[in-house]
Amino acid sequence: MNGDSVTPITEGLFTVAGGLVRLIGSQCARCGTVAFPRQFSCPKCTSVEVSERLLARRGTLWSWTIQCFPPKSPPYAADDPGAFEPYGVGYVELPGEVRVEARLTEADPGRLRIGMPMELTLVPAPSGAGGRGQGGRPPVASTARGVVTYAFRPMTEEEQSER
Amino acid sequence: MSAEDVGIIGAGIHPFGRHPGVTGLQMAVAAARAALADAGVSWPEIDFAAGGSDAAGNADTSVAMLGLTGVPFVNVRNGCATGGSALTMAHAMLRAGSADLALVVGFDKHPPGAFNPDPEDWGLGRWYGETGLMLTTQFFAMKIQRYMSEHGISSATLAEVAAKAFRNGALNPNAWRRKPLSAEEILASKMVNHPLTQFMFCSPGEGATALVLARGARLRGSARPPVLLRSVALRTRSFGSFEVFSPSIALESGPSPTAVAAAAAFEAAGIGPADVDVAQVQDTESGAEVINLAETGLCQHGEQEKLIASGATEIGGRLPVNTDGGCLANGEPIGASGLRQVHEVVLQLRGEAGARQVPGRPQVAFTHVYGAPGVSACAVLSR
């Protein structure tokens, strides 16, 4: 997905430049602890000297599961429970930074394993997402509005050999 | 028995399960009356009370039914540690000499299906729920998935934990799920969140539990055999622990609230995990029981695979765990579960647990609850 013309599910979570998505985290100036989403104080040393940091785009799968039943709505934003498809969820370890929770583009348990290389991407948000409290946007399905969220996808063998 | 001792002299429970037409508060009052009757104490004698529910109202509203005695009554709403938190407060009030007889009560009434908390109540953006990440079941699945790869735990062990829970539940007249299920049936049930299947998860439910605590002369002169509350410890999360509803977790690992609370409870009691004769640990799903056995110090990490296969955690085993069927067989009325655990070990230590009684006169018991967003309460009790 080319990211330059999309609408983020919320501001401040990720940024898109030149078609590449980056998660917006933060780093403590005192102890170096990295967190996501951006924090304004350090969860480790309590310092408030915390600044924004764009996180690495690649990492490894630390743990995962498949969400096999439709979550209740709210808070889930799907507006057609009948169309539910199971989806993958995992924590991806960004080396030297933090482990980030994300939806995965892969929902086949046979194709997920702990330690596999993953890369950040954008996916369409569930269709009812991002529609309230954000600048009075009209209640149109988010897919029609191009609303996206972040996800991680397994890297191909070619991509891995490029590293 | 020393002057500082605090003990449990009465225990009451309203059956867990589904009770159409009965409110959570009505269940709480029924449990409170049962605990008072068990203790041989009248409501006006109670000089401190604490309790709560997550979703069924304010505990102190029960005074309208129990009687308007003016008793100081603190409402607690602390997730899965609601009961443990009420117990912590009552213990502290009695130890301080600020009360002689205390009542603690926990209750709840949840609709069917997974919990659907509002992300903003948990300090998270709306996006977290909208994108389908706001589910406790995902956390438990990812925690046990990682744990299995690090410590060699198999899916067969997860199924055995649930099979034991339903076997024990079948022996407990107050349990919700009273039909034994085989490990094969549990493994073959619908996948909920890999690697956890439907029958490896507890369900939100309904129920209530109450306890009467005493000190001094009221403890020494109690009508029922007193059970000493040797310690109780409540902790929130430390940096580096892996908790529910975490958009990120630190690379650096730190102790879980369970590990910290359990260590504090054992230290305060002057009793070690090896001395425990019967234990109740949080079993929101099978994997939680496996992990919590080690995090509480009751076994080593990775030892569970053999321990559970050997039958050590069965009612007749070396370390009986969740003898009343735990959350898996009783369901999870959030406010009630922590005190249900204590209710069960009180019966076990008195020798009154009927068909599920642990043989050999158990002397020492341990209870543990864990809940979102990373809170745990542990207690050590003895005859």
Q: Which domains does chain B have, with CATH numbers?
A: 6-112+202-382 (3.40.47.10)
Residues of A in contact with B239 (CB under 8 A): 43-44
What φ, ψ does residue B131 adopt, rounded to 5°? -90, 5
Tell me the per-residue pLDDT of B46-72, one tens digit each, with 9 for 90 and over.
999 999 999 999 999 999 999 999 999
Q: B94-129, pLDDT tens digit by residue?
A: 999 999 999 999 999 998 887 888 999 999 999 999
The predicted model gives B258-264 an average pLDDT of 98
Nearest to B130 among A87, A101, A125 (CB): A125
Please determine, for residue B284, whether its predicted confidence score (pLDDT) is greater than 60: yes
What is the phi-psi region of residue B221: left when phi exceeds 0, alpha when psi lies from -120 to 50, beta otherwise?
alpha
Q: Structural domain of residue A32, as residue ranges?
A: 3-162
- The rounded distance, in Å, linking the Cα atoms of B162 and B286 is 6
Distances (CA, A) of B130 to A7, A10, A124, A129, B142: 15, 11, 12, 6, 20
| pLDDT one digit per residue (tens) for chain A, 163 residues | 444 567 899 999 999 887 799 999 999 999 999 999 999 999 999 999 999 999 999 999 999 999 999 998 889 988 676 789 999 999 999 999 999 999 999 999 999 999 999 999 999 998 777 654 443 344 445 556 689 999 999 999 888 887 5
DSSP helix/strand/coil, A161: helix
Task: Compute the distance between CA of residue B286 and CA of residue B157 in angstroms, rounded to an integer.
Answer: 8
What total number of domains does chain A contain? 1
Q: Residue B182 in contact with residue B163, Cβ under 8 Å? A: yes
Residues of A in contact with B127 (CB under 8 A): 9-10, 13, 129-130, 149
Which chain A residues contact residue B133 at CB under 8 A? Answer: 89, 101, 103
The single residue listed with the structure tokens 């969400």 is A67
Say if B111 is an interface residue toward chain A (CB within 8 Å): no
B132 in reach of chain A (CB within 8 A):
yes
How far apart (Å, rounded) are the C-alpha atoms in residues B224 and B351?
12
- Could B249 and A64 be called an inter-chain contact, meaning their C-beta atoms sit closer than 8 Å? no
pLDDT for A81 equals 66
Q: B95-120 in b/e burial notation, b at 16+ Cβ within 10 A? A: eeeebbbbbbbbbbbbeeebbebebe
pTM, rounded to two decimals:
0.94
Instruction: Using a CB–CB cutoff of 8 Å, tell me whether B129 touches chain A.
Output: yes
Of B183, B181, B157, B186, the closest CA to residue B167 belongs to B181
Q: Is B248 on the interface with A (CB under 8 A)?
A: yes
The 3-state DSSP class for residue B304 equals: helix
In whole numbers, what is the pLDDT of chain B averaged over residues? 96
Residue of chain A minimizing CA distance to B192: A68
Interface pTM, i.e. ipTM: 0.93
Q: Which residues of A touch B194 (CB under 8 A)?
A: 64-66, 68, 109
Q: Which SS3 state, helix, strand or coil, does residue A137 take?
A: coil
Cβ(B334)–Cβ(B81) under 8 Å?
A: no
b/e B52-80 (16+ beta carbons within 10 angstroms → b): bbbbbbebbebbeebeeeebebbbbebbb
> pLDDT tens digits for B19-30?
999 999 999 999
- Over residues B273-278, the mean pLDDT reads 98
